[in-house]
């Protein structure tokens, strides 16, 4: 079992920045690829970003490329999502997820999930 706890969400104006953190416990963190997903009200959960087990390879959905950065600190058992130039359409509950294999954008392929953290971007 892997337990994941997100933090860092909040209310920010458009153009602002937030950094989300996801702290993991329970298993060897370096054995897991990590992903960030988000879900806005009335919409399906969507992929945002992912990082491989070593942290050396990343992947982003097109709408956040150049604005968001995912990183992984295996020594601290934590994955981060730095979000810059935020837009109102980024408003959602953000979830981190873990899987013991490589990067994937499919939420169904992740085995463990956090409880989510709310990000609200005002215009």
> ∠ CA 67-71-75 to the nearest 5 degrees?
160
Q: Is the separation of the CB atoms in 24 and 35 below 8 Å?
A: no
In this prediction, residue 101 carries a pLDDT of 86
Query: Structure tokens of 59?
Result: 């992947």
Mean pLDDT of residues grouped by 10 in the chain (123 residues)? Answer: 96 98 91 96 96 95 98 96 98 97 93 97 96
The DSSP call for residue 76 is T
In this prediction, residue 38 carries a pLDDT of 98
In this prediction, residue 93 carries a pLDDT of 98
3-7 long-range Cβ contacts below 8 angstroms, 24+ apart: 3/112, 4/96, 4/97, 4/98, 4/112, 4/113, 4/114, 5/114, 5/115, 6/94, 6/95, 6/96, 6/114, 6/115, 6/116, 6/117, 7/117
In this prediction, residue 1 carries a pLDDT of 86
Q: What's the CA gap between 12 and 26, in Å, rounded?
A: 32
């Amino acid at each position: 079992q892997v337990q994941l706890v997100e933090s860092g969400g909040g209310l920010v104006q458009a153009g602002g920045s937030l950094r989300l953190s996801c702290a993991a416990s329970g298993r060897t963190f370096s054995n897991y690829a990590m992903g960030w997903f988000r879900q806005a009200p009335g919409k399906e959960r969507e992929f945002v970003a992912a990082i491989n087990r070593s942290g050396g390879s990343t992947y982003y959905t097109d709408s956040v490329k150049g604005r968001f950065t995912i990183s992984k600190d295996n020594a601290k058992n934590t994955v981060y999502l730095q979000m810059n130039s935020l837009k109102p359409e980024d408003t959602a509950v953000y979830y981190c997820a873990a899987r013991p294999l490589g990067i994937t954008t499919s939420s169904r392929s992740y085995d463990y999930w956090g409880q989510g953290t709310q990000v609200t971007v005002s215009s």
